């Protein structure tokens, strides 16, 4: 009887936790306006803490499903990027690049204060460049946020994500070269993966709009086609050992340039996107080990402080040059606080592709990831609300 009950609990763990996460998120958002993604993360963390059977075990297919969920968000982020803005305001592009380099350098330097190998410090620095598109886009959408700060946050988030992937692939290539001396494997693990991922995403970004223009597709049909294309892209990237996240972002950027429009009502990819979003944040939180969280909390808090100071400082310094006030520059930097969902999945992906240090790095960053996952979306929400760019007010 006990065995049967344990099997039943293991079988229903994921549906049960996802249902609970959704109900609590709606309740907390309506009563206290806490971002829904924060509630999803909290439920996942609690499930991991009590070691809920079926939630913390290795279930085949879950990493792929999480990558599909994040790829949908990255496609949407890419779809909101206006490349002509960078031509009209090159300071924006320069800010994104400089801030990424500054963040990488500062995090690498500060992580040296702790007993970490060089390759681990390089990985942590590469991941710290990123801002979580899942956290940023989801919060912006649920607030129906629009304006200068919102658009800058989205564009800078895209730049951060691209440079974070590039930096991590270079570190992976360096690791392969230093451990095996195989230059071909090192090249495959770095720039080849980046270039091919971008090329496949761009190719789909040209092909799918062309196909849609061959017939008069209604708005709902456009959303379904793009969602299926992202699924195809993620599957292909897995099969070819490429970066599905970078490919999806490239797909969105190129598709936007091909002028096939998604309406506001189609953001988040409807009900399926909402369901995948709940799963994504619960899954990401369940990957964290609480023993690692406690051991790495001091380093995590210090790295968060340094990363936040870097992003806020760079946006403050470049505010006037890029055409906004210092106040908006401050809020833009703060809104880029979330990073965990993208960073953890990127790290998990490299582990699945055979990158040995990934497990140790996730353990070292567990404290940083936990705080960022819980508080990052709340900081983004408050920054956007303070900028007066939201259409949902605190009740």
Residues 25-49: pLDDT tens digits?
A: 999 998 988 999 999 999 988 887 7
* Residue at 41 is within a domain: no
Q: Could you tell me the residue range of the domain that residue 305 belongs to?
A: 59-386
Instruction: State mean pLDDT over 144-166.
Output: 92
pLDDT in tens, 206-228: 888 888 777 776 666 778 888 89
* Residue at 38 is within a domain: no
* Residue at 273 is within a domain: yes
Count: domains in the chain: 1
Predicted confidence at residue 45, as pLDDT, reads 86
The band of 394, judged by pLDDT with boundaries at 50, 70 and 90, is: very low
Cβ-count burial of 282 within 10 angstroms (0-12 exposed, 13-18 middle, 19+ buried)?
Answer: buried
Of 22, 20, 71, nearest to 235 by C-alpha is 71
Q: Residue 265 above 50 pLDDT?
A: no
d(CA 20, CA 43): 8
Pair of tokens at residue 98: 């400089």
pLDDT in tens, 57-83: 666 778 888 899 999 999 999 988 888
Q: With beta carbons less than 8 A apart as the criterion, state whether 339 and 124 touch.
A: no
Of 72, 73, 69, 66, nearest to 137 by C-alpha is 73
* Residue at 54 is within a domain: no
Residues contacting 335, CB < 8 A, separation 6+: 136, 149, 153, 379, 380, 383, 384
* Residue at 309 is within a domain: yes
Helix spans in 33-114 (H) = 36-49, 62-79, 83-88, 90-111
Helix spans in 112-147 (H) = 118-128, 133-142
Q: Residue 171 above 90 pLDDT?
A: no
* Residue at 23 is within a domain: no
**Coil, strand or helix: which one is 10?**
helix
d(CA 169, CA 394): 41
Radius of gyration, alpha carbons of the chain: 20
Q: Residue 264 above 80 pLDDT?
A: no
Enter the pTM of the model.
Answer: 0.91
* Residue at 279 is within a domain: yes
Helix spans in the chain (H) = 2-32, 36-49, 62-79, 83-88, 90-111, 118-128, 133-142, 148-180, 183-187, 193-213, 219-240, 244-257, 270-286, 290-295, 297-317, 326-335, 340-352, 358-364, 366-386
Q: Residue 56 above 80 pLDDT?
A: no
d(CA 185, CA 189): 6
* Residue at 319 is within a domain: yes
CATH of the domain at 326: 1.20.1530.20
């Amino acid at each position: 009887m006990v065995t049967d009950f344990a099997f039943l609990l293991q079988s229903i763990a994921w549906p049960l936790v996802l249902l609970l996460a959704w109900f609590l998120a709606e309740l907390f958002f309506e009563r206290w306006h806490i971002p829904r993604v924060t509630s999803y993360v909290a439920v996942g963390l609690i499930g991991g803490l009590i070691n809920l059977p079926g939630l913390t075990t290795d279930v085949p297919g879950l990493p792929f499903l999480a990558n599909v969920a994040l790829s949908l968000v990255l496609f949407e982020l890419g779809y909101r990027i206006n490349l002509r803005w960078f031509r009209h305001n090159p300071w924006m592009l320069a800010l994104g690049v400089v801030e990424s380099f500054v963040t990488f350098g500062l995090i690498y330097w500060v992580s040296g204060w702790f007993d970490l190998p060089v390759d681990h410090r390089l990985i942590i620095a590469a991941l710290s460049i990123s801002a979580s598109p899942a956290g940023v886009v989801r919060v912006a959408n649920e607030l129906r946020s629009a304006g200068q700060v919102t658009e800058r946050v989205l564009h800078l988030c895209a730049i951060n994500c691209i440079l974070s992937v590039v930096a991590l692939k270079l570190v992976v290539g360096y690791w392969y070269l230093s451990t095996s001396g195989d230059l071909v494997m090192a090249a495959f693990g770095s720039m080849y993966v980046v270039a091919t991922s971008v090329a496949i995403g761009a190719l789909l970004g040209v092909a799918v709009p062309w196909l849609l223009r061959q017939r008069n597709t209604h708005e709902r049909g456009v959303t379904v086609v793009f969602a299926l294309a992202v699924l195809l892209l993620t599957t292909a990237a897995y099969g070819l050992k490429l970066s599905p996240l970078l490919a999806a972002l490239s797909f969105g950027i190129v598709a936007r340039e091909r002028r096939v429009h998604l309406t506001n009502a189609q953001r988040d990819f409807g009900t399926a996107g909402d369901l995948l979003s709940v799963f994504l944040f619960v899954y990401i939180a369940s990957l964290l080990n609480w023993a690692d969280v406690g051991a790495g909390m001091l380093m995590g808090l210090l790295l968060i402080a340094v990363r936040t100071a870097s992003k806020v400082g760079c946006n403050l310094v470049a505010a006037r040059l890029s055409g906004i006030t210092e106040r908006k520059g401050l809020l833009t930097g703060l809104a880029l606080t979330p990073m965990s969902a993208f960073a953890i999945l990127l790290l998990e992906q490299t582990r699945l592709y055979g990158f040995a240090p990934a497990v140790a790095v996730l353990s070292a960053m567990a404290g940083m990831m936990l705080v960022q996952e819980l508080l990052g979306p709340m900081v983004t929400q408050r920054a956007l609300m303070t900028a007066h760019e939201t259409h949902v007010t605190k009740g």
